Amino acid sequence: METCWFIDCHCHLTAEEFRQDINDVIEKSRKAGVRAFVSVTEQQSEFEEVIDLAERYPESVMACFGIHPIQSSADGHRSVTVQLFKSLEQKSAMVAVVSTAVTWDLEPALPFFEKHKDKLVAIGEIGLDFTPWFVSTSQQREEQQKVFALQLDIAKQLDLPVNVHSRSAGRQTIAFLKEQAVTRNDQRAKLIRQIPLENICLETDSPSLGPKKEERNEPEKIRIACQYIAAVKGVSVETVCEVTTCNALKLFPKVHQRLKE
């Protein structure tokens, strides 16, 4: 492979923290070797923003649509909600095929999935988050599962991979995806040793999870994750970079296609 470069498989370029300097963030990260940004969304209000970024940076910003299990509101954060409709024939064809349950948060977003389906590289950020102070009732957990299942069905319809969030819901996420769920940070090194390098991709989750507390994270810092994995596995940083980039290209075939254009 040519000089090592990265794919950030999960970042939030439409986050409020990037609103004032997103162009600088992208350019700085590209100079640091990040060739592609898989930019996820959490709310419908971000959809047009991420499409705009993808159109401005078609060679590097890769758009995802998703409704996160925890939604922001004027009163803080809340669990995503579900509303049932009796007559889905009046909705889009996609909804009628997918499910008889449409989320209050997801329903306004469904036309955007259809409208921009050719521009999406994945569905995300979706998943389950049963953090007790956000999700305290069984009804809320059931509603999250309906939201998750609906978006998994959309991903299947569009033949797209999913970018998944899992917190305090490991067993339930496994049940949906039938694969290993996210584990706690104190298990990170053990997990990295156990998982073959051929099954690992790199992400920053920026602007969250900065190297220091209260410090904004950025895609350019993806090398920190690469260096950590290399140290745990006892291999070179270049090896981790090359293998994880190849993994990402396999996981996101549309990213691979666009990078070749």
Q: In tens digits, what is the pLDDT along the chain, a chain of 261 residues?
A: 346 899 999 999 999 999 999 999 999 999 999 999 999 999 999 999 999 999 999 999 999 999 998 888 767 788 887 654 333 343 444 444 444 444 567 788 889 999 999 999 999 999 999 988 888 888 888 888 888 888 999 999 999 999 988 888 777 777 766 644 333 444 567 778 889 999 999 999 999 988 888 899 999 999 999 999 999 999 999 999 999 999 999 999 999 999 988
Among 182, 178, 161, which residue's Cα sits nearest to residue 250?
161
Count other Cβ atoms within 10 Å, centred on residue 172.
18
Q: Where are the beta strands (DSSP E) in 162-229?
A: 162-167
- How far lies 81's CA from each of 50, 77, 78, 170, 243, in Å? 23, 12, 9, 20, 39
Sequence-separated contacts (24+) of 180-189 with Cβ below 8 Å: 189/232
Q: Give the global pTM.
A: 0.84
DSSP conformation class of 240? H
- Both tokens assigned to 151: 């978006």
| DSSP notation for 35-86 | EEEEE--SSGGGHHHHHHHHHHSTTTEEEEE---SEEEETTEEEE--EEE-S
